[in-house]
A and B are shown apart, each in its own frame.
Chain A
């Protein structure tokens, strides 16, 4: 991989594929908020396009999630009188464990393909790289959830398509990806990133897990919105705190690279 070429020069292999129209992304250092978000989108777009071609992350996460739901279904089938009792825990547990499988590819794939230096040399603020990765992985994880909910509907016969649960999933996934992407960057160059990332990530994710399960329980019990909005508040506060913090510290990760 050529390291020195700035990313606005499209790779000849990529450009030759006529089906994807590649607009050269205008990369300017500085510029307003719109310019910043264009850079963020360029990074996210790159990851999304790579995923559409390789189908590496989504397929891994969704296959794992379906398998895990089946395993949990088998495990709880004999002893649990009502599926509603275990479904909230299964949903969030499967998401937490399945999400790690994709997240460690976030920067891991860049390291494996020798692409990291090229990415870091891009004339963009480092935080734009972070938000681009967050956006892409938010999309992967939401797609996995979109597949997971119908599977759970079939296996457990519990309808999780409720506005409260969907809002909680969106906020919880955002918080998960926000912290997960930063930790993926921290562990990307370590020898044992596949095992290190979950060990780092899961304890920090406990608030999201607890709030997500609480919200799902309340929503499945048919409580009113006022009874579970504090869970949404916790998730929103979590997202705000950790997105801001990650934005601040992300520059520090590769300062010697």
Chain B
């Protein structure tokens, strides 16, 4: 059966899915170009800032976009892991792995852009702000996830153990956030309190900034979906290749 499908795949022309993937990738490239244009040229400078800070503020659009990508990736990993544990279909595990890989990439982007932005804005690269702490720990959690997966040879064991760890990792994130939030304040009641990263009310600053923010978030989401799909297909093909190789050997 394996050889028949293999030869079919080799002779295969472009299918509807290939065309859809190509279109999605092109859309992602276009969306990123649009985001860069909007973030660097279209959005008006923030009137309440001056000098370096005013220029650095434009990092925010990319920062926020990366953040959306990371969030989507880690959510996909939770959903994929949970569904894998219920259905035991390896495709869901591939969703989880692709989500973690792409999410970690975006997570690193979020932290790096945050660091570049923090120096002019807060005059320090790093603070132990709850969001920074939580974001960094989250990226480390998923780096650990990827390292852990690499060490397991059996495909099904890898999927099962990875899924279990992904569920634990995801659930520890809100607790990390609240504990880090309480750590920095003397009084425990800070729910809904002042937000250190609040950028002011976008509506009062100007419509171009809020429009740019929306463009950035949608654009990065499209980029996320495109990367996720590519990685998922790649993992699928790699597994398929592995299966075929095993069939040939036996």
Bound complex: CA A186 to CA B157 (Å): 10
Interface size grouping (class) on chain A: 20 to 34
A195 CA to B137 CA, complexed, in Å: 18
Q: How far is the CB of B55 from chain A (nearest CB, A)?
A: 34
Chain B interface, number of residues (Cβ within 8 angstroms): 29
Query: What CA separation (Å) do A238 and B144 show in the bound complex?
Result: 20
Encode contact with B along A203-214: 1 for CB under 8 Å, 0 otherwise.
110110011011
- Report B148-166 CB contacts with A as 1/0, cut-off 8 Å: 1001100011001100110
Q: In the docked arrangement, what's the CA distance between A257 and B152, Å?
A: 15
CA distance A254 to B151 in the complex (A): 17
Q: What's the least CB distance linking A49 to chain B, in Å?
A: 30
Cα distance A57–B140 in the bound complex, in angstroms: 28
A-B contacts, CB under 8 A, total: 82
B137 engages A237 (CB within 8 Å): no
Binds B, one of A20-28, A111-119, A245-253: A245-253
Which residues of the partner chain B approach A192 to less than 8 Å between Cβ atoms?
A: 151
Residues of A within 8 A of B72 (CB): none
Q: Of A186, A203, A210, A242, which contacts B180 at CB under 8 A?
A: A210
* Cβ 8 A contact of B168, one of A206, A230, A245, A256: A245
Interface string of A185-221 (1 = CB under 8 A from B): 0110011100010011001101100110110000000
Instruction: Flag if B164 contacts A186 (CB, 8 Å).
Output: yes
Tell whether, in the assembled complex, residue A199 and residue B147 are in contact, meaning their CB atoms are under 8 Å apart: yes
Mark interface residues in B75-113 (1 if CB within 8 Å of A CB, else 0): 000000000010000000000000000000000000000
Q: Which among A179, A191, A203 is the interface contact of B137 at CB below 8 angstroms?
A: A203
B37 on the A face (CB < 8 A): no
Tell me whether B229 is interfacial, beta carbon within 8 Å: no
Separation of A157 and B164 alpha carbons in the complex (Å)? 43
A234 close to B167 (CB less than 8 A): no
Q: How far is the CA of A238 from the CA of B177 in the complex (A)?
A: 13
In the complex, the answer to whether A204 meets B188 with C-beta atoms within 8 Å is no
Does A231 sit at the interface, judged by CB under 8 A? yes
Contact B165 A200, beta carbon cutoff 8 Å:
yes
B244 in the interface, Cβ–Cβ < 8 Å?
Answer: no
- The residue in chain B whose Cβ has the minimal distance to the Cβ of A179 is B168
A168 to B126, CA, bound (A): 29
For A62-73 the 0/1 string (1 means CB < 8 A from B) is 000000000000
- CB contacts (< 8 Å) of B156 on chain A: these are 256
Shortest A226–chain B CB gap in Å is 9
Q: Would you call A186 and B147 a contact (CB within 8 A)?
A: no
A-B contact pairs, 22 of them (CB 8 A): A186-B164, A186-B165, A191-B151, A200-B144, A200-B148, A200-B165, A203-B140, A203-B141, A207-B172, A207-B179, A210-B176, A210-B179, A237-B175, A241-B171, A242-B171, A245-B167, A249-B85, A249-B167, A252-B164, A253-B160, A253-B164, A256-B157
Residues of B with Cβ closer than 8 Å to A?
85, 133, 137, 140-141, 144, 147-148, 151-152, 156-157, 160-161, 164-165, 167-169, 171-172, 175-176, 178-180, 182-183, 188
